[in-house]
Amino acid sequence: MATTRVHHILAGLKKINRLAATLSGCILLFITLAIFIDVFLRYFFNSPSIWITEVSTYLFLYIIFLGTAYALQLDMHIKVTFIVGFLGARLTKIIDLLTAIFAMIFCLVLLWQTTVMTWTAFKEDWTSPTMLSAPYAVIYIIMVIGTLLLFLTFFFQTLVKLLEPLPESSE
């Protein structure tokens, strides 16, 4: 019963991660087109934009934080596997679980710090010191959302692995 519920939650989370990654891709497409247009306007009409560079810089945060949970979901994060290849399946699973626990701790610290920073930016109405005067809370909130998605993905994937029986030792 609990296993079914965990799998159901993870399936829903995977749909959210896929949607977030799709949004990340759309933002990347927008940035690419915007920079292309800016370069075109600059070199052919001597009329560059005043906002594209700044907005593109902020949107890179969105690309990164919207895509990390999906990358984890597809097991696309960088791994150092040269030692794990020499270990048995049981020890490899234990190392994977320990690694996930440390990653979740990191995510919780990052979530806490980005939440504090975003809340402070919202309360104190922080804005960028440029002509655009972009509200930092709108820029920072994606770090909170992305880190939360990453933590939840780590948590539920780890829970699924914990609910599976350990493989028999082949040593």
* Per-residue model confidence as pLDDT tens for the chain (171 residues): 677 888 899 999 999 999 999 999 999 999 999 999 999 999 999 888 888 989 999 999 999 999 999 999 998 877 777 777 777 878 888 888 899 999 999 999 999 999 999 999 999 999 999 888 999 999 999 999 999 999 999 999 999 888 876 556 544
Say what the pLDDT of residue 168 is.
61
Q: Are 143 and 62 in contact (CB under 8 A)?
A: no
Rounded Cα gap, residues 163 and 155, in angstroms: 12
Rounded Cα gap, residues 65 and 20, in angstroms: 9
Rounded Cα gap, residues 145 and 64, in angstroms: 11
Write down the pTM of the prediction. 0.87
Say what the pLDDT of residue 19 is.
97
Say what the pLDDT of residue 171 is.
46
Say what the pLDDT of residue 1 is.
60
Q: Count of CB atoms within 10 A of residue 55's CB?
A: 15
Rounded Cα gap, residues 38 and 50, in angstroms: 9
Say what the pLDDT of residue 70 is.
96
